Structure 1
Amino acid sequence: MERKTIQTDRAPAAIGPYSQAIRAGRTVYLSGQIPLVPETMQLVEGDMEAQVRRVFDNLQAVAEAADGKLADVVKLNIFLTDLSHFGLVNEIMQEYFAEPYPARAAIGVAELPKGAQVEMDAVLVLP
C-alpha cells in the first residue's frame, strides 16, 4: 500500500521526527496536535476553551490537507492534563462534529509537550 506524507502550513509544523499525517490508502492517521499557533509555533493565548478550539482547528487543517474533513474522522483520542475539562471538550466538540460522532477516548495524562493542557490525534477514512 502506498503511503503519502501530509503537510500543511495551516497547522503547526512537527516538533520532532514525525509527520503531521500519513495517508495509507483511504485512511489518514493524524499525529497529535497541541494548541500551537502555526504562524508562531507558540501556545495559543487564552483559557482552556482557546486551547481546545486551536487543537480542533489544527486537526481540521491537517484533515483538509489530506483532502478530507473532520466529518471523515472515525476515531479521536483526547489527552487532558485535567479531566475536569471533559465537559468543555464535549461542548466544543459538538461545534466541530455532527452525528454520527467518531469513536473516541479521553485520557488523563500528567503532562503534555510545551505545557499544553490538551492534545488530540485522529484517524479518518476518506470517502
Structure 2
Amino acid sequence: MAKEIIFSEKAPAPIGPYSQAVLVNDTLYVSGQIALKEAETGDIKVEAKQVMENIGHILTAAGLTYTNIVKSSIFLKNMDDFGLVNEVYGSYFDSNPPARETVQVAKLPKDVNVEISVIAVK
C-alpha cells in the first residue's frame, strides 16, 4: 500500500498527531477540519465557510476539487445550526453532492461549532 501524506500551507496545521490528509491509491482521506479564529466570531456561516475553504486547500494540494468528494461527515455542536451550515456546505456543490451524515456532538476540538471531514476519489 502506497501512502502519501498531503499537506497545504493554506489550511491549518494539525493540532495533534495526525495528517491533514492521506492519499492511498486514488482515495484521499481528509481529516476533520475546523476554523479556529472564525469560531470566536459566533457566526456559524463564517465558520462553516472557512472549514470548507480549508478542505478546498487540501484538495488542491492533492490535485483534486470539491467534485472529487464522495463522502462527507459533518459534526455540529448544535443541531439548530444545521440549516445555516447546510446552506454554506451546499454552495460548494453545483450538482451530484457527495454522500453525507450530519451529527450533533457534545464537544469539538478547541470548542469550535463545526468540524467536517471528507473522502475524495481521483
Question: Which TM-score band applies after superposition, normalised by the shorter structure?
Answer: over 0.9
2:120 — aligned with what?
A: 124
Say which SS state the counterpart of residue 96 (structure 1) adopts. Answer: coil
Runs of 4+ off more than 3 Å: none
Say which SS state the counterpart of residue 88 (structure 2) adopts. Answer: helix
Give structure 2 stretches of 5+ with no counterpart. none
1:114 — aligned with what?
A: 110
What is the CA-CA distance between 1:74 and the residue it aligns to?
0.2
- Of the three residues 85, 92, 117, the one matched with 2:88 is 92
Say which SS state the counterpart of residue 75 (structure 1) adopts. Answer: strand
TM-score (norm 2): 0.95
**Deviation sequence 1:71-121 (CA, Å, 0-9, x none):** 100000000000011111121122111220100000100100111000000
TM-score (norm 1): 0.91
Alignment of 1:83 onto 2:79 = yes
For 2:87 and 2:32, locate their aligned partners in 1 and report how far apart those are by CA, in whole Å.
Answer: 20
Two-structure CA RMSD over aligned residues (Å) = 0.9
Say which SS state the counterpart of residue 91 (structure 2) adopts. Answer: helix
Equivalent positions of 1:1-127 (< 5 A) are 1-36=1-36, 43-44=37-38, 45-46=40-41, 47-126=43-122
- Which amino acid in 2 is paired with 1:7? F
For 1:125 and 1:98, locate their aligned partners in 2 and report how far apart those are by CA, in whole Å.
Answer: 17
For 2:94 and 2:100, locate their aligned partners in 1 and report how far apart those are by CA, in whole Å.
Answer: 14
1:40 — aligned with what?
A: none
For 2:79 and 2:96, locate their aligned partners in 1 and report how far apart those are by CA, in whole Å.
Answer: 24
For 1:108 and 1:90, locate their aligned partners in 2 and report how far apart those are by CA, in whole Å.
Answer: 13
